[in-house]
Structure 1
Amino acid sequence: MLYISIFERLKKRTQIMIFYRQDLTDAKLLELYKKLLKPRLIEEKMLILIRQGKVSKWFSGIGQEAIAVGVTSVLDESEYVLPMHRNLGVFTTRDIPLNRLFSQWQGKADGFTKGRDRSFHFGTQEYKIIGMISHLGPQLGVADGIALANKLQNNKKITAVFTGEGATSEGDFHEALNIAAVWKLPVMFIIENNGYGLSTPTNEQYQCTNLADKGIGYGMESHIIDGNNILEVYNKLSELKEQMQNDPHPVLLEFKTFRMRGHEEASGTKYVPQDLMDEWAVKDPVTNYRDYLTKIGVLTAEFDEQLHEEIKKEIDENLAISNAEPEIIPTYSGELDDVYKSFIYEEVNPSSEIKNIRFIDAIRNSLEQSMQKHKNLIIMGQDIAEYGGAFKITDGFVEFFGKDRVRNTPICESAIVSAGMGLSINGYKAIVEMQFADFVSTGFNPIVNLLAKSHYRWGEKADVVVRMPCGGGTQAGPFHSQTNEAWFTKTPGLKVVYPAFPYDAKGLLNSSINDPNPVLFFEHKQLYRSVYQDVPTDYYTIPLGKAAVLKEGNNVTIIAFGAPVHWALETLEKNPEIDADLIDLRTLQPLDTETIYASVRKTGKVIIYQEDTMFGGIASDISALIMEECFEYLDAPVKRVASLDSPIPFTKALEDQFLPKNRFEAVLFDLLKY
């Protein structure tokens, strides 16, 4: 009786999938079938290879091919698509050479990541495909940035981005949808609802009836589509694309589907009830479409067999090419040279005309002149448009540059950082202003896992500057006063700049904007309106990674950056008998070790002065470097002076105790006496 019950249920479900060809030609119908068949046959081959141990990991999309193929078939080749690791049909529909895909999956050099990342964690500008990272959500914000670039160019291009039902619980999903809705971006948000997030069923992931209902909260058009019906996918998306081209807006699309394999092959499917597997087996997108084409006389058994043979031959030939490729031989230089995109620094010398201005004015000058220099530069941040930002640095920018380029953002740091990456991918430069450096914690993931790693992983630049108003001394408490540069100096792929003077701030920010690598640009807000300097009025640059020697002496080396540079100067002015080298690092990554070592070898004593807390700060790494490289020159232990290892407090007495300013002089004198 159980068998009969299941059989009747399956028979009933087979009547649900109805194909409507509309005005599609026979040739188009067959083209879609071939595109469906190709990833299926590759998958079947991959399942054999993984059992043979020739591929280490595989995320199967069997049962979901119609979504990837349908979406990609609707898009033009010049339109970006952002797939996930179950979307092989995206890559095959874009006609990526199979030998390169096989090399990618086997970790060989002819793949797209040089063996540095696996499976579908890659992108390729040649095929306008931008791959995911394992954190899933950030790619939705990347799609926003790509779509924003398209909208600014008014080129009528659409962006499609994939996610699973599990990732719709991530904050990045909601941030990205909100941004797209507010900015009316032409993005197709593709949710592949296949019933399970790894092993967690949908009834343990969300309580709304359909994920498409989430679009209502963002004022966004949404649709539910049979993800196993290739014609429903293709026809509905073709219709939507035309509407989005004429009236840019985002669309949320929930595709009902099912994956017939495990989350990845090692996980299996034991957590899925067998009757559910049986129900979806009869909705196989390839089999049902083949039966339909056969029924209407478009596909013959002979031609179907011919297609199978052609595709299998293509698979075997390309697999042989990949198998013949040698394994990667690692080299230190090969790895380290790709952490950053190569960049030829262009020195621009200032004219003799100067003006005595504040630190904050220098930042404003740089932004203004860089916006004039780079017509593709976009500034994004909370309240930065008409209001001019929390510190009024961009006040008046909207009137001069327009709201397209000076963009207020919702409070969603993560998706905005990701959108900056999307702008960079699609030919723009981006500046993201954190209202306070403390708030970067909510945008931490895309900075350290997306911006920092993209060039190393697949050779893509991240032309994004994140501005970081930071620092204590203003009694702003633990959420508006941190100087958190050490969160980023340890992340390969990021550059970290921290000027102390107006002249440096302007020149270094100009260089940071020119640099195609991601830069965290720290601006100590206590210096904004308290430090003045003569600064050239026109545009100029200062190279990143070059420290400044502010004072020269023979008895001790003082290394500092940010506000402690000024505190050190106050100490030296109060004690003119101290014969010291004072080094302002200016850039923390890359670090100017040459200048540091030269000074230490001369003086034999060194003290490192930072505002960050002691443990885990960059002073610790500088100290270790000096001990390793200059030990024989040292006449005393390397000393560090930093803030207390506690959160930064609010009340002035507590903040004064927290900051290192009142402790520096005593430590310096002890070092000199050693």
Structure 2
Amino acid sequence: MSSVDTSQTTIQYKSSIHDTETLQDLYYAILKPRMIEEKMLILLRQGKISKWFSGIGQEAISVGVTRALYKHEYILPMHRNLGVFTTREIPLKRLFAQWQGKASGFTKGRDRSFHFGTQEFNIVGMISHLGPQLGVADGIALASKLKNEGSVTAVFTGEGGTSEGDFHEALNIASVWDLPVLFCIENNGYGLSTPTTEQYRCKDLADRGAGYGMEAHIIDGNNILEVYEKILEIAERMRVEPRPVLVEFKTFRMRGHEEASGTKYVPQELMDEWQAKDPVINFENYLLEHKVISHDQISEMKEKILLEINEHLDIANSEAIVSANLDTELNDVYANYNFEEVKPGSTTSELRFIDAIAESVSGSMERHPDLVLMGQDIADYGGVFKITDGLLNKYGKERIRNTPICESAIVGAAMGLSIKGMKAMVEMQFSDFVSSGFNPIVNYLAKVNYRWNQNADVVIRMPCGGSVGAGPFHSQTNEAWFTKIPGLKVIYPAFPADAKGLLNTAFNDPNPILYFEHKALYRSIRQEVPEGYYTTEFGKASLIREGSNVTIITYGAGVHWAMKILDELKIDSADLLDLRSLQPLDQEAICKSVTKTGKAIVLTEDSLTGSFASEIAAMISEECFESLDAPVYRVGSLETPIPFAKELENQYLPKDRFKSKLQELLNY
């Protein structure tokens, strides 16, 4: 079949494909999502689905890219990429159930639209924040590269999403690490109602590839043959020579951002121009003119697709409305994990807090060959606190990875490694910097198991805390940012032996874990620590001292402050409870102690408003009210940022206030 320009097609098809079967298959593949969408728009008007993000006019991109990739290669689509799901041949009844919020959908009614993933079909759905999935694609591609799979990972974003920091972080990481990620930008003219002229100043978004040393292409996104053939060629080269490629697909959004938005903000002449470039109608006319397909064959295809749509809709419609089951909802927040106790041996050696953590990291690297460490300066330099010093020589640069200053995309990459069945540790250089990676932690890692039964096997180490004269950006203790987020586990040890055992457990647990390490304890606290490998269970507080007059509840450096003050005041009648684990929390141990003593004081390094100490105090008041002989006291740092100068920092921290409040409570 020769390349011919015709008056019947606005799109100019120039193809090297002569295979009739391939051309007909591409037509069927692009027709199917169009017909499904047309049906969904009817159902939307009838109130049978709640929302719809239309990809009408953009089908050639989803179908062409998906057909060009192998089925085992991962695709991370967006709202308007129905063609990815249909081309991967997901049963329509499951898609319809998903859109109706039925139990047989991919999220059990917990999320709507295309906010889901499926390992069965190697598709990882997006979240509404858009950008984080780009970093996830990096992680999937990294895992594929480490496993020498020769695979490509494709990830979609819109032109609006390219304004997000995650886009730039993900491209930078992929370029630096030579990751085989196909970054697909669907430039469809508008981000909701904001035109491209208000989104960016460069002529083409593909121009950004040069800034990252990345190969880039511009493709007519309405031309199914151009999309398919060029992606086929690009992907094959990427498999042989792993590297990222940026592709900008020029297309247009023919309907509203979602149906309720409408398109009144779009000039009619622009709509008319792109309507003439409809990818389905143009391709159909092209095939008819070249006698690759007949009107009868088209009718048969449409009849077949419509029959499938109606049959699967009937199945989805007949399914009962999802029922709310409390146990199911609560149990699905975290991935299943049965703690495996490895008891410590009798041989010990004296270790500093920091050395115990380093032993755990190194031992876990040996125990888990699929564990990858990522963080700024953690390789040759050994990290700013030297916890990973020497690991590069022992485990190699593929597993001990220096990262650019891209906290958000690195957290996303850790998620991608987990999707590929690997483990990841991210070292935040300081816990303060986690704010730059906050979104993927609380909106992706924390929710992913609940949403579509995908665990996030990620440990994020968080050097935190004051008493080191480091000021407002290197001294925060920010555990309360995460203790309220269902799906995260938060660990905060006070002693070297616990630090080692709890971190070992963290690397075994398939859930996302925020592991807080107080910097002031790193080199100031020593203890006899069992040699070799052992684990310590989460959710079990440690009773450091026993007494009957008052319960002191704290964690991290607060444990050592409390011990010192008890010694200074010569108080030997207090229960001192080291929580160790904040989420899960040992409520039983807290209530048992408070019921015994009748008085409770909670000590935290955080400022009190919104602190975890406030949560504990509220729980005690609610669960132990009848046992209390006094109000539950809370002691925390000042309601200011943490200052740098020693005198100011000492005033900020709660040590002196705890001393006086403890005496006040004992005298109550």
With the length of structure 1 as denominator, give the TM-score of the two structures: 0.98
2:474 match:
480
Deviations 1:154-207 (A, max 9, x none): 110100000000000000000000000000000000000000000000001100
CA distance in 2, matches of 1:33, 1:12: 18
Q: What's 1:638 paired with?
A: 632
Equivalent residue number for residue 233 of structure 2: 239
Name the CA distance, whole Å, in 1 between partners of 2:9 and 2:107.
44
Cα RMSD, aligned residues only: 1.1
Separation (CA, whole Å) in 1 of partners of 2:360 and 2:225: 53
Q: Name the counterpart of 1:465.
A: 459
In 2, Cα distance between equivalents of 1:62 and 1:441:
38
The Cα shift of 1:227 comes to 0.3
Asked whether the equivalents of residues 14 and 282 of structure 1 are also in contact (C-alpha less than 8 Å), the reply is no
Aligned to 1:377: 371
Say which SS state the counterpart of residue 480 (structure 1) adopts.
coil
Which shifted more, 333-342 or 409-418? 333-342
Quote how far apart the aligned CAs of 1:411 are.
0.3
CA distance in 1, matches of 2:340, 2:569: 40
In the TM superposition, structure 1's runs of 4+ consecutive aligned residues that sit over 4 Å from their partners are: 11-16
Report deviation, 1:21: 3.0
* 8 Å contact kept, 1:14–1:283: no
| Equivalent in the alignment of 1:7 | none
Q: Cα offset for 1:18?
A: 1.9
Match of 1:3 in 2: none
Q: 1:15 to 1:330 in 2, by over 3 A?
A: closer
SS in 2 for 1:272: coil
- Counterpart in the other structure of 2:249: 255
**Contact 2:17/2:23 (8 A) holds in 1:** no
Tell me, yes or no, if structure 1 residue 154 matches structure 2 residue 145.
no
SS in 2 for 1:367: helix
Q: Is the 8 A contact 2:10 2:282 kept in 1?
A: no
Cα deviation for residue 362 of structure 1 reads 0.4
1:49-94 Cα shifts (integer Å, max 9, x gaps): 0000001100000000000001111111111000001100000001
- 2:157 aligns to what? 163
Task: Give the Å deviation of 1:15.
Answer: 6.1
- Measured in 2, the distance between the counterparts of 1:56 and 1:257 equals 26
Aligned to 2:283: 289
Task: Quote the offset at 1:540 in angstroms.
Answer: 0.5
What's 2:43 paired with?
Answer: 49
1:334, distance to aligned residue in structure 2 (A) = 1.8
What is the CA-CA distance between 1:576 and the residue it aligns to?
2.8
Residue matched to 2:272? 278
Asked whether the equivalents of residues 339 and 456 of structure 1 are also in contact (C-alpha less than 8 Å), the reply is yes
8 Å Cα contact 2:160/2:190 also seen in 1: yes
Pairing partner for 1:456 from 450, 454, 461: 450
Please say if residues 8 and 285 of structure 2, whose CA atoms lie closer than 8 Å, have aligned partners that are also in contact.
no
Tell me the alpha carbon deviations over residues 555-610 of structure 1, each in whole angstroms, 9 at most, x when there is no partner: 00000100010000111122333401000000000100000000000000000000
- Partner amino acid for 1:255? F
User: Is the contact between residue 10 and residue 276 of structure 2 (CA under 8 Å) also seen in structure 1?
Assistant: no
Report how far residue 351 of structure 1 moved: 1.6
- The 8 Å contact of residues 9 and 286 in structure 2, kept in 1 or not, is answered as no
Q: Check conservation: 2:9, 2:282, Cα contact below 8 A.
A: no
Q: Which of 501, 506, 510 pairs up with 1:512? A: 506
Which residue does 2:208 correspond to in 1? 214
Mapped pair 1:68 → 2:62? yes
Counterpart amino acid of residue 657 in structure 1:
Q
In the alignment, the residues of structure 1 paired with residue 328 and residue 237 of structure 2 have an alpha-carbon distance, to the nearest angstrom, of: 47
Aligned mates of 1:577, 1:284 — CA distance in 2: 81
Query: 1:590 maps to which residue?
Result: 584
**Structure 2 equivalent of residue 612 of structure 1:** 606
Equivalent in the alignment of 1:419: 413
- 2:352 aligned with 1:358: yes
Superposed CA deviations along residues 23-74 of structure 1, whole A, max 9, x for unmatched, are 4511111111111010000000001000000011000000000000011111
Consecutive unaligned residues of structure 1, counting only runs of 5 or more, are 1-10
- The match for 2:522 is 528
Q: How many angstroms apart in 2 are the aligned matches of 1:260 and 1:100?
A: 26
User: 1:331: Cα distance to partner?
Assistant: 2.1
Asked if residue 324 in structure 1 is aligned to residue 318 in structure 2, the reply is yes
- Mean Cα displacement is larger for which, 15-24 or 132-141? 15-24
Q: By how many angstroms is 1:292 displaced?
A: 1.0
For residues 292 and 281 of structure 1, what CA distance do their matches in structure 2 show? Answer: 16
Q: Give the Cα separation in 1 of the matches to 2:170 and 2:391.
A: 25
Task: Write the letter of the residue equivalent to 1:152.
Answer: L
Task: Report the CA distance between 1:12 and its aligned residue.
Answer: 11
Q: 2: distance between equivalents of 1:89 and 1:575?
A: 71
Distance 2:571 2:464 in 1: 33
- Measure, in 2, the Cα distance between the counterparts of 1:66 and 1:510: 48
Change (3 A) 1:639 1:13: farther
Q: 1:138-149 to 2 correspondence within 5 Å?
A: 138-149=132-143
Identity score, percent = 66
Equivalence for 1:225:
219
Structure 2 residue 203 is the aligned partner of structure 1 residue 203: no
Is 1:391 the counterpart of 2:414? The answer is no
Is the 1:436–1:480 Cα contact (8 Å) retained in structure 2? yes
Which residue of structure 2 lines up, in the alignment, with residue 174 of structure 1?
168
1:101 paired with 2:95, answer yes
1:59 and 2:53 aligned = yes
Where do 1:343-354 residues align within 5 Å?
343-354=337-348
Where does 1:333-348 land on structure 2 (aligned, <5 Å)?
A: 333-348=327-342
Please say if residues 559 and 578 of structure 2, whose CA atoms lie closer than 8 Å, have aligned partners that are also in contact: yes
Change (3 A) 1:13 1:177: farther
Question: 1:654 matched to which residue of 2?
Answer: 648
SS at match of 2:398: coil
Q: Deviations over 1:444-473 (max 9, x none)?
A: 000000000000111100000000000000
Task: Tell me what 2:398 maps to.
Answer: 404
CA contact (8 A) 1:162 1:192 kept: yes
2:108 matches 1:114: yes
Q: Distance in 2 between matches of 1:665 and 1:438?
A: 28
User: Structure 1 residues 317, 614: closer, same or farther in 2, change over 3 A?
Assistant: same
CA drift of 1:13 comes to 9.6
Counterparts in 2 of 1:187 and 1:24: CA distance versus 1, 3 Å: farther
SS of the residue aligned with 1:526?
A: helix
Counterpart check, 1:307 vs 2:301: yes
Contact 2:133 2:412 (8 Å CA) reproduced: yes
Number of residue pairs the alignment of both structures matches: 664
The alignment status of 1:190 with 2:184, answered yes or no, reads: yes
Does the C-alpha gap of structure 1 residues 13 and 499 become closer, same or farther in structure 2, counting only changes over 3 Å?
farther
The verdict on how the C-alpha distance between 1:534 and 1:301 changes in structure 2, with shifts beyond 3 A counting, is: same
CA contact 1:555–1:578 (8 Å) conserved in 2: no
| 1:287-334 residue CA offsets vs partner (Å, 9 max, x unmatched) | 111111111111000010000000000000000000000001112212
Whichever residue aligns with residue 666 of structure 1, its letter is S
C-alpha distance in structure 1 between counterparts of 2:496 and 2:345, whole Å? 16
| Distance in 1 (alpha carbons) for counterparts of 2:519 and 2:531 | 22
Shift of 1:14: 7.0
Once the two structures are superposed, what CA deviation does each residue of 1:520-546 show, in whole Å capped at 9, x if it has no partner? 000000000000011112011001111
